Structure 1
Amino acid sequence: MASVWRVGGWLLGYNSFYDKVLSESLARGSVGAEAWGEYLRLSANYYHPLGDWQLRDNQTQEQRMAAGYDVTAQARLPFYQHINTSVSVEQYFGDSVDLFHSGTGYHNPVAVSVGLNYTPVPLVTVTAKHKQGEKWRQPEQCGTEAKLSLWRTP
């Protein structure tokens, strides 16, 4: 569920969603807010686990989604609009939270991500992203994506 409205030169909105890992029957709900300007996008989300603790495959540990939040800012350069930048901070609460999917859990982990996108033409985007936690660093992510919009409304 979401709603968006225009205030001056900004688009403001809120959203809520339900998300589930089907293979493990883990679920969470989220509420968020966004503000989009011509050169700046801001967003914030809060995540809350839905459901009880469940035994993992090894039958010795329990698991569930962690409560947490993220705050993201994306900006593009007014003088060179093919380049977009992003910075994001996320934190999840609990003991043994595996924020980096490394098999190691941390207490209330925090991570910061920075990214850079280059879109020379609307069809192609090249991306680079770095994510760093307090005690863990995720390998840099680089990629290329192609988007083809067959139906576009004015």
Structure 2
Amino acid sequence: MNRKARAVWQGTGKDGTGHLTADSGVLSNTPYSFKTRFENEKGTNPEELIAAAHAGCFTMALAFQLQSAGFTPTELATEAVVTLEQEGSGFKISKSALTLNGNVPNIDRAKFEELARAAEKNCPVSKVLNAEITMDFTLA
């Protein structure tokens, strides 16, 4: 399976602008720039997209872990916070912090944590990130 997205950039790194498009159409000429990345201008940035990808991947992986163990979640909600830090003259994504809120009938805290830790380690986005990954959770 292959997924594809395109980036087009015009101008310098600080003053230029770009847009992102994905074949699915979810991103369609979505703006990004220095200001959307390092300030608060409307648009997206690579770290936000990685955070969304990590939250989505982990949550789906956990749903499969739960299903395999015989549990059906009422709801799984995950927030991912990706940290971008300066490294030398450039930058590095140093951390992705996952915060999970789960509502899963008939599961105890220990089993939920076991399955959530397995999902954290085994989702494809976790495997590709060269960063510290943490996971905190609450179980309703």
Instruction: Give the shorter-chain TM-score range.
Output: 0.3 to 0.5
TM-score normalized with structure 2 length: 0.35
Structure whose residues are more often strand by fraction:
1
Greater share of helix:
2
Please say which structure displays the higher CA radius of gyration: 1
